[in-house]
């Protein structure tokens, strides 16, 4: 009899990922930084928001479809860009297939393990994500490769703060998957035979190169070489963002905006979308949950650009809360990575189904017919919940 692969919540996908992955790979997915305050707040904050459901008045049909950066999507949830090197041999291609099967778009990390051309073949609704890495010529070359491959949008992530310490310790990521490393990692791998077998079948170890940092058709630099170059690259200015936006010309998202003043500058720089995000709590620890910062940003710029949120989304009702507080859509990170680790493409599809099922159920409870009808009054926001950052009255900066 076929193994039952289905899971009913993201929490169960996470448990399964923990069981399936070697400890170091699982802990790379957990990531976070310093004391883990931000990553915890991202999730806990959603639990503090409430609903007030109706007993009668539910709509027979609920509409989940929307658009983001010019793409029609069948639910307001898209795949956030992440590097998923050792999670699954099919990596981002499996994620792209799952997103396409469920009618949604995908952000592809510039640190992804698969070349953009292969991933786009599986899902043409693809936004390429670039870091500020190297000089303008190098960045332009990468972006032009993405354009030639058919990327329909660009996501630029500038919030990375190179915070490397974790109170619970960081996993050791090898420089390369050479024979010496494989032998060293064997004992850990043997505790996870299913994962070992998945890779064993492919006759190649996880690829620690980043193909989208190089030219088309090349293997790309090793992860650490690219990371080192990134650390040495002078951080971008608003003029740099405006330059890249101009060069790209199409739908353009600045990811990692947490403050109203930055959101307004992003509008001035010509972006078409922002993601209110703290990089899933992987950056400057003690940054509040992104959902706490969202309403002030949506109020300030939501009528000029598309406002997306990411960070802490684990269920469909979280998506509904984010939309009610001003997001057009959300992006998910760990949730789909756990699904991928648990069951490959099917697991990512399962996670997207959990999201659409949860959105549908919440709309039904609230008596709404569409995600477009969600408003702040549909959510109970407890006193002291919000963290409007970067308002003109702020003394913080």
Ligand X SMILES: Cc1cc2nc3c(=O)[nH]c(=O)nc-3n(C[C@H](O)[C@H](O)[C@H](O)COP(=O)(O)O)c2cc1C
Q: Could you tell me which residues are annotated as the binding site?
A: 81-83, 109, 129, 131, 157, 166, 255, 277, 279, 310-314, 333-334
> Does 279 participate in catalysis according to the annotation?
yes
Distances (CA, A) of 200 to 30, 189, 193, 347: 25, 11, 10, 20
- Picking from 389, 383, 371, the residue whose alpha carbon sits closest to that of residue 297 is 389
Rounded Cα distance between 212 and 143, Å, is 10
Beta bridge partners of 155: 129, 253
Binding ligand X by CB under 6 A: which of 311, 344, 347, 388?
Answer: 311
Residue 310 found at the interface with ligand X (CB under 6 A): yes
Q: Which of 54, 88, 164, 279 is catalytic?
A: 279
Binding ligand X by CB under 6 A: which of 33, 85, 109, 345?
Answer: 109
Mark the segment that binds ligand X (CB under 6 A) among 141-149, 262-270, 333-341, 349-357.
Answer: 333-341
Distances (CA, A) of 288 to 39, 172, 385, 387, 389: 9, 28, 10, 7, 9
Tokens of 364: 């039904």
Binding ligand X by CB under 6 A: which of 111, 195, 248, 338?
Answer: 111
Mark the segment that binds ligand X (CB under 6 A) among 181-189, 233-241, 272-280, 319-327.
Answer: 272-280
Rounded Cα distance between 317 and 376, Å, is 14
Residue 80 found at the interface with ligand X (CB under 6 A): yes
Within 13 Å of residue 382, how many CA atoms lie on the same side as its CB? 7
- Picking from 281, 275, 279, the residue whose alpha carbon sits closest to that of residue 255 is 275
Nearer to ligand X, 81 or 339 (CB): 81
Binding mask 8-47 for ligand X (x = CB under 6 A): --------------------xx-x----------x-----
Nearer to ligand X, 318 or 349 (CB): 318
Contact residues toward ligand X (CB under 6 A) are 28-29, 31, 42, 80-83, 109, 111, 129, 157, 255, 277, 279-280, 282, 310-313, 332-335
Residues labelled catalytic: 279
């Amino acid at each position: 009899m076929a193994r039952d692969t289905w899971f009913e919540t993201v929490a169960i996908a996470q448990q399964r990922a923990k069981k399936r992955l070697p400890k170091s790979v699982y802990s790379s997915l957990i990531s976070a930084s310093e004391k883990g305050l931000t990553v915890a707040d991202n999730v806990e904050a959603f639990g503090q928001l409430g609903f007030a459901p109706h007993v009668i008045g539910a709509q027979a049909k609920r509409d989940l479809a929307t658009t983001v950066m010019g793409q029609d999507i069948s639910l307001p949830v898209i795949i956030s860009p992440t590097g998923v090197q050792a999670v699954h041999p099919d990596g981002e291609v499996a994620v792209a297939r799952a997103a396409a099967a469920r009618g949604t778009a995908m952000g592809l990390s510039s640190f992804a393990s698969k070349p953009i051309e292969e991933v786009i073949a599986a899902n043409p609704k693809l936004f390429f994500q670039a870091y500020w890495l190297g000089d303008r010529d190098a960045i332009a070359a990468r972006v032009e490769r993405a354009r030639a491959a058919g990327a329909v949008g660009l996501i630029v992530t500038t919030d990375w703060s190179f915070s490397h310490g974790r109170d619970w310790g960081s996993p050791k990521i090898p420089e390369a998957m050479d024979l010496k490393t494989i032998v060293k990692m064997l004992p850990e791998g043997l505790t996870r035979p299913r994962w070992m077998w998945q890779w064993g079948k492919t006759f190649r170890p996880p690829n620690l190169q980043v193909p989208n940092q190089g030219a088309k058709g090349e293997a790309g630099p090793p992860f650490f070489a690219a990371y080192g170059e990134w650390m040495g690259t002078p951080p971008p200015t608003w003029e740099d963002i405006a330059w890249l936006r101009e060069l790209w010309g199409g739908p353009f998202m600045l990811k990692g905006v947490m403050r109203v003043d930055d959101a307004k500058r992003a509008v001035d720089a010509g972006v078409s979308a922002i993601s209110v995000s703290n990089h899933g709590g992987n950056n400057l620890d003690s940054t509040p949950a992104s959902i706490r910062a969202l309403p002030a940003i949506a109020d300030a710029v939501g009528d000029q650009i598309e406002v997306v949120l990411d960070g802490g989304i684990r269920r469909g009702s979280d998506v509904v809360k984010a939309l009610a507080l001003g997001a057009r859509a959300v992006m998910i990170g760990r949730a789909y990575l756990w699904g991928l680790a648990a069951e490959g493409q099917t697991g990512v599809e399962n996670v997207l189904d959990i999201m659409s099922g949860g959105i549908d159920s919440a709309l039904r409870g609230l008596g709404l017919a569409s995600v477009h009808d969600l408003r702040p009054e549909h959510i109970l926001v407890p006193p002291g919940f919000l963290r409007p950052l970067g308002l003109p009255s702020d003394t913080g900066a």
